[in-house]
Structure 1
């Protein structure tokens, strides 16, 4: 196994609060996606809704994934005024969330 060089993945699992209108969730997701245009360290952004047939999601409904070139880039993103402003709008709409940061590892067989 080898750790992929120069990539750090930032994953946010989220459950929106009951009663948050779908159009508001859509606007929040668009705002999240726009951070890739506002914060240079953020290299990519992907998101999706839980589609698991195993029902092991523990109530989390959405996943947001972004990538950074380094831990320093992630730290710069977290401290960036655009991220702080967005987080202050986004987080109050979440019932619960969890964040995981990791370096992808490639398995060669």
Structure 2
């Protein structure tokens, strides 16, 4: 196994509060995606909704993944004023959130 040099993935699993309209969720997701244009250490952003047939989501409905070149980049992102402002708005609309940062490992067989 080979750990990718420096790369860190920042993952959020979320459930929006009941009553948050779909158009508001869409605007929040667009705001989240726009952070990649505002915060240099944030290299990419992906998101999606749970589509699993296993029903093991524990109530989480949305998945967000950002890529950074280093753990220091994640720290810079978290402290960045654009992220702080967005996070306050985003978190106010969530019922549940789980955050995991990890370093991807490549398995070569």
TM-score range, shorter chain: over 0.9
Equivalenced residues, count: 109
Mapping of 1:30-69 within 5 angstroms? 30-69=30-69
- CA displacement, residues 55-80 of structure 1 (integer Å, 9 cap, x when unaligned): 00000000000000000000000000
> How far apart in 2 are the matches of 1:4 and 1:25?
33
* Paired position in structure 1 for 2:14: 14
> How far apart in 1 are the matches of 2:94 and 2:88?
11
Please report how far the alpha carbon of residue 6 of structure 1 lies from its aligned counterpart in structure 2 after TM superposition: 2.4
> How far apart in 1 are the matches of 2:69 and 2:6?
5
- CA displacement, residues 78-104 of structure 1 (integer Å, 9 cap, x when unaligned): 000000000011001000100000000
* Paired position in structure 1 for 2:88: 88
* TM-score, normalization by structure 1: 0.99
RMSD between aligned residues:
0.4
* TM-score, normalization by structure 2: 0.99
